């Protein structure tokens, strides 16, 4: 694959990957992301002013196109994803941040309003996107990220350092309370695994075949296992008046809310995401 000065790089990438996508507009959006990874903008490409790629870049681009054709998510191919207007490094083994998870971060930030120097723990931090966003939004916040995955821990630490966020990231398994930070915390926030294995067939190939199963799936017969663990953890580390904010399976809003109500939380509220789906539960420790 060779691009010369004046070529429409984005158009060429789109045509090379088009067969791997449902429509041309999706392929175009991916092509724009790939070109941007080389510092080439949409305007430059279509104006014919994009710089030529070096031989090394052409080799890299050929590999990227091959992976896109194989069904890799563009975020893994480029090594980056956007969340709350910040760029995060991502790689296979780390869940790709979703737009709807921004709604979780916003709900968490809202829950912290009025709290001076809030103490926050992000359980299952992944790329660190929620934890880092909360720290960047409130410099006096003390935010800790927790994850079970060595890959996620490394990526979250890298993202925190690159974005200038003082967020310690530690290993922990919320289903094993002795491994978790002792607190106290004013807020527990989490985007835990919640996709039932029976729902796998309806998922996009790019998600189910490439993103980490440990961050996605739960058994059908124990779909709320992580919410039960989070409810118990919150009761242990939150003071009265502390908040818990979690992302949920949109098909299980009522059932998930019932877990927190049964665990003694009050003001258990199911919030809609930007797509009008049940996506967030916010509740209060009394």
What pLDDT, on the 0 to 100 scale, is given for residue 8? 84
pLDDT at 5 over 60: no
Q: Which 8-state DSSP code applies to residue 178?
A: G
Average pLDDT value for the chain: 94
Question: How far apart are the C-alpha atoms of 44 and 62, rounded to whole Å?
Answer: 20
> Is pLDDT of 2 > 80?
no
pLDDT at 6 over 80: no
Residue-wise pLDDT for 192-204, tens only, equals 999 999 999 889 8
Share of the chain above pLDDT 90, in %: 88
Q: What is the pLDDT of residue 7?
A: 66
In this prediction, residue 24 carries a pLDDT of 85
Work out the burial of residue 139: count CB atoms within 10 Å of its CB; fewer than 13 is exposed, 13-18 middle, 19 or more buried: exposed
Q: Which of 215, 135, 117, 232 is nearest to 180 (CA)?
A: 232
Contact 281, 268 (CB under 8 A): yes
Out of 36-45, 169-178, 226-235, least confident range: 36-45
Q: What pLDDT sits at residue 124?
A: 97
Rounded Cα distance, 88 and 128, in Å: 8
pLDDT in tens, 109-132: 999 999 999 999 999 999 999 999
pTM for the whole structure: 0.92
pLDDT in tens, 239-257: 999 999 999 999 999 999 9
Which is it for strands 195-196 and 86-89: parallel, antiparallel or unpaired? unpaired
* Residue pLDDT, tens place only, 129-168: 999 999 999 999 999 999 999 999 999 999 999 999 999 9
H helix runs in 200-252, sequence order = 205-208, 225-237
Q: Are 266 and 286 in contact, with CB atoms under 8 Å apart?
A: yes
Q: Band of the pLDDT at 47, cuts 50, 70, 90?
A: confident
Alpha carbons 279 and 253: distance in angstroms, whole number: 7
Q: List the beta bridge partners of residue 42.
A: none
Alpha helices (H) along the chain: 9-17, 24-37, 42-47, 55-69, 74-78, 99-111, 129-137, 150-162, 205-208, 225-237, 253-262
DSSP lists the bridge partners of residue 72 as: none
Query: How far is Cα 222 from Cα 87, in angstroms, rounded to an integer?
Result: 34
Q: Residue 3 pLDDT more than 50?
A: no
Residue 110 exposure: Cα atoms within 13 Å on the Cβ side: 12
d(CA 16, CA 265): 53
**Weakest mean pLDDT among 12-21, 222-231, 233-242:** 12-21
**Is 269 a residue whose pLDDT tops 70?**
yes
pLDDT exceeding 70 applies to what percent of the chain? 98
- Domain 80-284 grouped into CATH 3.40.50.280: no
pLDDT at residue number 249: 97
Q: Which two tokens stand for residue 125?
A: 């931090």
């Amino acid at each position: 694959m060779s691009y010369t000065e004046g070529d429409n790089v984005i158009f060429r990438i789109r045509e090379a990957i088009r067969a791997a996508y449902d429509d041309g507009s999706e392929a175009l959006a991916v092509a724009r992301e790939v070109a941007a990874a080389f510092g080439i903008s949409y305007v430059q490409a279509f104006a014919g002013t994009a710089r030529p790629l070096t031989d090394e870049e052409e080799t890299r681009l050929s590999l990227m196109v091959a992976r896109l054709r194989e069904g890799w998510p563009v975020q893994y191919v480029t090594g980056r994803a956007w969340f709350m207007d910040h760029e995060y490094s991502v790689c296979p083994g780390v869940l790709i941040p979703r737009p709807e998870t921004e709604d979780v971060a916003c709900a968490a930030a809202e829950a912290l309003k009025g709290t001076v120097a809030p103490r926050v723990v992000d359980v299952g931090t992944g790329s660190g996107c929620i934890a880092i966003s909360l720290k960047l939004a409130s410099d006096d916040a003390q935010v800790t990220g927790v994850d079970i995955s060595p890959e996620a821990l490394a990526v979250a630490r890298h993202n925190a350092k690159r974005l200038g966020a003082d967020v310690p990231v530690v290993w922990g398994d919320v289903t094993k309370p002795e491994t978790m930070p002792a607190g106290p915390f004013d807020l527990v926030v989490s985007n835990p695994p919640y996709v039932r294995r029976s729902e796998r067939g309806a998922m996009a190939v790019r998600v189910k075949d490439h993103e980490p199963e440990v961050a996605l799936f739960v058994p059908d017969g124990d779909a709320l296992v992580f919410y039960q663990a989070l409810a118990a953890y919150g009761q242990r580390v939150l003071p009265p008046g502390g908040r818990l904010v979690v992302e949920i399976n949109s098909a299980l809003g009522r059932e998930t809310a019932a877990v927190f109500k049964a665990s003694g939380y009050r003001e258990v509220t199911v919030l809609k995401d930007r797509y009008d789906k049940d996506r967030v539960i916010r509740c209060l420790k009394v």
